[in-house]
């Protein structure tokens, strides 16, 4: 099973892993796109690739000489085998790597026909929550005053995500905040497959006037228990994911790799 992990950060290795997320790559491609060496001789490129990735357990060299993520080299899991960690965070603002912090986080695991809330907790951001955010989410300074800091729940968060596919509605936002907090509090980098239900919806349900979570909830008849609260939004995103996976299966998707290809295909290139 492939899934999310957290590991010590390394800039060149991270760049190599990002490239390999798109598929296997030759040593020459790694030299150009990761190391910035467009004129490296083949033998030099191969030695550099081996030095960079040879000891990394997440990567292997295939029989054709290309480097690939272990899961991609060994075959992608079937969708029914995948556990999806559907994440939603509420925050003090939009700047994950600046002064803004998480005020609430929820993780809902979708696996087969099961949908379970495995984490739902308020977080003390260590700074005031702006009034406009309080109005939007209903989360106030008083509510988080006695809540744990992210440092206190970081291990719980990583345990909830470990070995699962990270999913969120506008995943860049949630991944950015969770990744920044894990880096800040544990000096670890998140790594692994992630899916955005906005991107999937644009590809699988084209022509909608809006791809906001509320609009898609109306489109699919999904009911919120609490809008703009982490657990409520994560539950609806989990239900939306189930609908989108069903649409993907109708188009022939069977494995996580099939979904990842669909996920990164430009909208105009998706066949009806």
What six digits make up the tokens of 17? Answer: 């892993």
Please give the Cα distance from 146 to 126 (Å, whole number). Answer: 11
Strand boundaries in 70-152, DSSP class E: 84-91, 102-111, 114-122
**228 counts as catalytic:** yes
In three-state secondary structure terms, 167 is: strand
- Determine which helix (DSSP H) or strand (DSSP E) holds 183, and give its type and residue range: helix 171-186
Q: How far apart are the first and last CA of the chain?
A: 31
> What residues contact residue 158 under an 8 Å CB cut-off, 6+ apart?
6, 182, 186, 188
Please give the Cα distance from 209 to 215 (Å, whole number). Answer: 8
Block residue for tokens 């955010």: 133
Catalytic residue selected from 7, 111, 169, 228: 228
Please give the Cα distance from 198 to 174 (Å, whole number). Answer: 13
Which residues does the annotation mark as catalytic?
228
């Amino acid at each position: 099973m492939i899934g999310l992990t957290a590991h010590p950060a390394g800039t060149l290795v991270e760049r190599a892993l990002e490239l390999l997320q798109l598929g296997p790559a030759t040593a020459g491609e790694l030299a150009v796109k990761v190391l910035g060496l467009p004129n490296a001789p083949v033998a030099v490129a191969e030695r550099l690739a081996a030095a960079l990735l040879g000891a990394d357990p997440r990567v292997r060299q295939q029989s054709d000489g290309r480097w690939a993520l272990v899961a991609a080299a060994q075959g992608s899991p079937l969708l029914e085998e995948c556990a999806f960690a559907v994440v939603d965070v509420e925050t003090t603002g939009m700047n994950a790597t600046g002064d803004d912090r998480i005020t609430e986080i929820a993780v809902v695991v979708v696996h087969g026909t099961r949908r379970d809330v495995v984490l739902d907790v308020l977080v003390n951001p260590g700074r005031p929550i702006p009034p406009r955010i309080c109005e939007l989410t209903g989360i106030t300074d008083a509510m988080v005053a006695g809540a744990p800091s992210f440092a206190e729940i970081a291990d719980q968060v990583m345990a909830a995500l470990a070995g699962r596919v990270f999913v969120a509605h506008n995943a860049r936002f949630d991944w950015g905040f969770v990744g920044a907090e894990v880096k800040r509090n544990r000096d670890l980098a998140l790594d692994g497959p992630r899916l955005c239900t906005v991107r999937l919806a644009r590809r699988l349900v084209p022509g909608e006037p809006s791809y906001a979570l509320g609009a898609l909830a109306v489109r699919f008849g999904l009911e919120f228990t609490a809008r703009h609260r982490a657990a409520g939004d994560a539950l609806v995103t989990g239900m939306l994911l189930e609908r989108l996976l069903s649409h993907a299966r109708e188009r022939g998707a069977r494995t996580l790799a099939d979904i990842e290809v669909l996920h990164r295909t430009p909208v105009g290139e998706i066949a009806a």
